[in-house]
Amino acid sequence: MVLSASHAGGGFATGNQENTYFVCSGWAGLLSLALSMAILTGIIAIAMRLYNKYDLHSYKELFEKLYHPFDKLELVFELFFYGVILLLCLVSSAITLTFAFVDRFENSKVVDKVPTLFEKCCVLSAFISILSVVISLGGLTNIIKYDYGYMGYLAIFLIIIRC
* Alpha carbon 157 to chain centroid, angstroms: 33
Q: How far apart are CA 63 and CA 10, in angstroms?
A: 26
Q: What is the pTM of this model?
A: 0.42
Kindly report, residue by residue over 114-142, the tens digit of the pLDDT: 888 888 888 888 888 888 777 777 666 66
Q: How far apart are CA 98 and CA 121, in angstroms?
A: 10
Please give the pLDDT value at position 63: 80
